[in-house]
Structures are given as C-alpha cells and as structure tokens.
C-alpha cells in the first residue's frame, strides 16, 4: 500500500502532471523534490508550481558541491567519455538525485519514490536501480512510463486539472547541470539534419569565437583540478570558471550517434565545455606520469567505469572496485597542463609534473643524450622475431599446392 510518495520534480509538464496523476491513482500524499545540480533554474518558481499543482511539501536541495566532489571528480579521474564522445554529464547526476529521493523518503516516512523518466531512455535505469540499491523496501514508480498518455493527451489532462501548460510547445528536450547540457528530439531526430543555431545556448559558434587563441593553465593534484591560471578554486567554482572560458572559445559542442541501453540508436547533442577541456588536460597529464602498461590497462578500466555510470549501475560494487585502481594511478597525476583554446578546439601545448616519466637526457637527439643506440642493434631483431617467423610460415603455406 502506497500512502506517501516523494517525486523528483523538475517543474516541467511531465512531473507536474505526475503530481496529480499519482495522487489520483494511489490516493497518496505527494512530496516533491528538486535537486540543484547547477542547472540554473528558478527554484522558487518551481516550488510554487509544485504546491499549486498539489504537493503537500516541497524540498529544494543544493547538491552542487557534492555533485562536483563525489561524482564529477571521479569522472575526471576516469576520463569518462561514453563511446569516446559524451562526458556522461546527465548520467552522473541521476544517481545523486536517486540518493536524495531516498534520503527525503526516509525523512518523510514515505513508502515510495517516483520519477518522470520515460521507458525509452537511460534515466529510468539510473534512478530506479540506484534507489532500489539504497533501499530495496521502497516502491519506485514511473508514472510517465506507465500512464499510457500521448503528449496531446497529457496536455489535455493538464488543462482539465488546472495544471499550467506552456503555450509554446518545446522544440527540444533539454537537461542541464554543472557538467553539461543535453539537447535532443525535434529536428535533431533526423541524423542528417545539422543542429540549428537554437540548439546551442552555452557555447559561442566556433566561427564566431575570438580570432586570437586563449591560453589556459590547469593545475591537478591527485588527478583532480585545483587551480586555473595559478588561482585556487573550490570544485564548483573551478568548473564554472572553465565552462565560461571554454564556452567563449566555442569548445564543447558534441553531435553524437549514441547507443542507449534499451537498444535504441539515438542522435544526441551536448554542450560540455568544461568537461571536454578538463578531461583533455587530465588525459594528457596521465600520459606524462603513467607508463605504457598502466595507460593501456587504465583505458580498459576507464571504459568499464564509464559504461557502468552510463548504464545506471552507479551503485554496483564493481564501480568502487574500479575506482580503487583509478585512484591509485591518480596519486601521481599531479602537475600543470597548458591548453590553447581556439575556435572550437582545446589543444594541449604544454605539461609539467614532478612525477614525469619523460626524461630529457634519454629522449633528446642532441649530443647530450645518454641513450645508448647500440643497444637497439640486438633489440630490433628480438622485438620483431615472431612477426618475421610468422610471415615466413604464411609464405610457405601460400606457396603449397
């Protein structure tokens, strides 16, 4: 029996209709929760709307610091880019929303939590699995997935129950937080259509970006950024600062054919200026301080970590297992990276670390080199021995009748 439900509330049509629909279906009290992850919304208006539609209580939780420290920073250490393009910005926020849903459910004595995700996307996995992992006793409800209403029917339902509906239908479906902005649907559903100018809100068009490059220096310690251009920032302010500078230079626009977990191939667009810039710097610094075998294995670990996050498995123990390795390697990811930001590209042009594996005296080609080239005389044949022998065997096979 469901008597009180905590609903993750955005203030949009779906979750506003959900307040009324859930109350009607379950005769339950509805508590709404909005989590501030840096989406720059009018949270007071969202709260007022929740009460107007029928919520008995509303919570707004500022979780930006927790989001940056406990979710974004691990993603930086893992160089998290799903299918090498998407910095999992929306995906990272969902398990934190689920965590706050469970916390408020416990505080309110609720027996259920609810979200506004559809049955076609990945967010249903991210919220439901995380919530159930944190408290299996809670019922998790997905009204948007279950009510069977079309968009037009949903609008009619809203009008019938006095729920405010925007006069202008949304052209796109948009989600944003501190780490990025996702834009989908509408004209973007045709993969051949180039994104229209109104897709982009954060970033300057590369061709309209400054004609002179901007140089940016990011300092890392323990694998996470701590300074920009020599100035210390707290995690949220640092991300916001890099976001602003990179955006002005047209950095962070992503147009991506993405494989959703439910099996759909989806065209997605994102704006992730800080994510693209910081991860590019972090990857480069890792190349300076980790050896070839560490980097090769870490790429496998990073890919698996990123997939778990994308696939809604944040609470799976494997994520923490992988982070043990990621955190160990990042103990040495310390130093400075200098980037050249210019008309949509973020190019690393300098790096320095006290743990650098680069040794000038062995790498240089000038007369001061300490590298003994005579050692290569025996190394080359040994390194290629199996390749040479294999080719001989294959040649004999091809010549046989």
Active-site positions read 14, 94, 123, 173
Please answer whether residues 339 and 280 qualify as being in contact, where contact means their C-beta atoms are separated by less than 8 angstroms.
yes
Residue 226 CA: distances (Å) to CA of 20, 221, 237, 252, 335: 45, 7, 10, 21, 10
Query: And the tokens for 225?
Result: 């950024």
Residue 31 CA: distances (Å) to CA of 43, 113, 167: 16, 9, 27
Q: How many CB atoms lie within 10 A of CB 240?
A: 16
Distance CA 262, CA 283 (A): 30
Q: How many residues does the chain have?
A: 401
Nearest Cα to 224, choosing from 108, 339, 76?
Answer: 76
């Amino acid at each position: 029996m469901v008597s009180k439900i905590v609903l993750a509330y955005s203030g949009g049509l779906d979750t506003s209709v959900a307040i009324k629909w859930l109350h009607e279906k379950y005769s339950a009290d509805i508590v709404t929760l909005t989590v501030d992850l840096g989406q720059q919304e009018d949270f007071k208006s969202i709260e007022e709307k929740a009460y107007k539609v029928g919520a008995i209580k509303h919570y707004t939780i500022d979780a930006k610091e927790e989001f940056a420290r406990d979710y974004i920073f691990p993603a930086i250490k893992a160089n998290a880019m799903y299918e090498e393009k998407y910095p999992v910005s929306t995906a990272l926020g969902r398990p934190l929303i689920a965590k706050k849903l469970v916390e408020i459910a416990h505080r309110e004595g609720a027996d259920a939590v609810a979200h506004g995700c559809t049955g076609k996307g990945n967010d249903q996995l991210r919220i439901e699995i995380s919530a159930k992992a944190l408290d299996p006793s809670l019922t998790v409800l997905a009204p948007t997935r279950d009510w069977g209403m079309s968009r037009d029917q949903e609008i009619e339902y809203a009008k019938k129950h006095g729920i405010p509906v925007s006069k202008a239908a949304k052209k796109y479906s948009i989600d944003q937080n501190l780490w990025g902005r996702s834009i989908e649907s509408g004209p973007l559903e045709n993969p051949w259509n180039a994104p229209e100018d109104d897709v982009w809100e954060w970033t300057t068009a590369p061709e309209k970006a400054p004609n002179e490059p901007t140089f940016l220096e990011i300092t890392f310690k323990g694998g996470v950024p701590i300074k920009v251009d020599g100035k210390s920032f707290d995690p949220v302010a640092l991300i916001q600062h890099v976001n602003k500078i990179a955006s002005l230079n047209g950095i962070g626009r992503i147009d991506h054919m993405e494989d959703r977990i439910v099996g759909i191939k989806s065209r997605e667009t994102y704006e992730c200026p800080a994510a693209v810039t910081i991860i590019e710097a972090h990857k480069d610094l890792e190349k300076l301080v980790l050896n070839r075998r560490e980097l090769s294995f870490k790429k496998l670990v990073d890919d698996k970590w990123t997939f778990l996050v994308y696939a809604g498995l944040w609470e799976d123990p494997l994520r923490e297992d992988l982070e043990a390795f990621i955190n160990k390697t990042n103990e040495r990811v310390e130093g400075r990276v200098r980037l050249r930001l210019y008309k949509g590209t973020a190019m690393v042009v300098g790096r320095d670390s006290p743990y650098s594996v680069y040794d000038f005296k062995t790498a240089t080609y000038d007369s001061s080199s300490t590298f003994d080239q005579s050692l290569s005389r025996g190394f080359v044949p040994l390194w290629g021995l199996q390749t040479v022998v294999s080719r001989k065997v294959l040649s004999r096979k091809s010549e046989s009748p």
